[in-house]
Amino acid sequence: MLPRHVYLHVPFCARRCSYCDFAIAVRRHVPVDEYVESVSRELRLRFPGSETWPAETLYLGGGTPSRLGGTGIARLLDAVRERLTILPTAEITLEANPEDVSTESAVAWRRAGINRISIGAQSFDDAVLRWMHRTHDAAAIRRAVDSAREAGLGDLSLDLIFALPPDLSRSWERDLSEALALEPNHVSLYGLTIEPLTPLGRWRDRGAVGPIPDEQYEHEYLRAHEAISAAGFEHYEVSNFARSGHRARHNSAYWRGVPYAGLGPGAHEFNGEVRRWNVGAYAAWVRQLAAGEDPLEGSEQLEAEKRETEAVYLGLRTDRGVRLSEAELSRTAAWCSAGWGTIHDGTLVLTALGWLRLDSLAADLTLVRSR
């Protein structure tokens, strides 16, 4: 059975953010023709046949998909429709940087089929945005939201980054207030991580940036949980909040462990048993497809034990939780006493405090199951 959830990695960025270690391609001029043709080749190569198959969700991530512009996104979706039947009820998400969102571009995206937009705000502090190497300012975020709504893209998500170095003097409280004032349907939070081969990693290595205190990380995460939940959002996954009816359907498919396709440089894919990923470098991806070769970089067979481990982890990271046996109920009772979770009808759901300990709690529960 072909996957009903499809991820398209669009790698282009105007600049690499200080914290970014993703598979991106920094380009002043985006090679739209080359990219769209390469996606078409990958679809034909990896999913041969004359019949299309239905897709429930399509997610254009990056990189910065919005750099393709209005006509570029339309052409990309036309290429995808040659192999996929995008259902009338499908969720079609576009990640966008604020500076790319104008009323004109948003109208073109909506006409092409985009019905959900995820805007990378990250912060409303201009000094912080410059430190992150972002190419927009706070005013651009507000203009982008207005333009998206004016174009009819009302299903809107905002991304924010928390736990920044204390010497930046960033007001997390102010950023939360600014984001909520824009009345999005969805908010995603990401704690800053310092990866080795990034500008931020080099700053750390030479002592320009110190470690983020654990107490600050916990305080800001819990404060976000409190403030966003109070504004009427459901905290439905460790990093995600949604108003009723606006949970991210594509990402929720990942957390349920269902099959999904991954196209584009560095894209990952899962068929229920095997995980595979493409070469990350854009030029290598294009070159291999032009030669008629699968741009596969690696794959991993998930044996039953690993699938069980992932099922526990994915269940605990959402408000779906994990169904427990009698022995596991006894083991996790102490977690609930500590405020890390709740158990209802035999299902354990972690609290926000528990999500801060997700890795260790999932590992402990997996250990119990393996005995």
pLDDT, one tens digit per residue, over 109-156 is 999 999 999 999 999 999 999 999 999 999 999 999 999 999 999 999
Q: Report residue 210's pLDDT band, with 50, 70 and 90 as the boundaries.
A: confident
Q: Report residue 217's pLDDT band, with 50, 70 and 90 as the boundaries.
A: very high
Residue 274: what pLDDT?
95
pTM summary value: 0.96
Rounded mean pLDDT, 289-302: 97
Q: Report residue 95's pLDDT band, with 50, 70 and 90 as the boundaries.
A: very high
Q: Report residue 51's pLDDT band, with 50, 70 and 90 as the boundaries.
A: confident
Q: At residue 1, does pLDDT exceed 90?
A: no
Percentage of the chain exceeding pLDDT 70: 100
Q: Report residue 270's pLDDT band, with 50, 70 and 90 as the boundaries.
A: very high
Pairing state between β 84-96 and 116-122? parallel
Radius of gyration of the chain (CA): 21
Residue 87: what pLDDT?
97
- Measured CA to CA, the distance from residue 186 to residue 183 in angstroms comes to 9
Residue 327: what pLDDT?
85
CB-CB contact of 84 with 30 (8 Å) = no
Q: At residue 259, does pLDDT exceed 90?
A: yes
Indicate left, alpha or beta for 266 from its phi (over 0: left) and psi (-120 to 50: alpha). left
Residue 195: what pLDDT?
92
Q: At residue 50, does pLDDT exceed 90?
A: no
Rounded mean pLDDT, 173-182: 98
Q: Report residue 220's pLDDT band, with 50, 70 and 90 as the boundaries.
A: very high
Residue 305: what pLDDT?
87
38 or 308, which is more confident:
38
Mean predicted lDDT score pLDDT of the chain: 96
Q: Report residue 370's pLDDT band, with 50, 70 and 90 as the boundaries.
A: confident
Two tokens at 106? 């948003």
Q: Report residue 371's pLDDT band, with 50, 70 and 90 as the boundaries.
A: confident
Which residue reads 């979770």 in tokens? 341
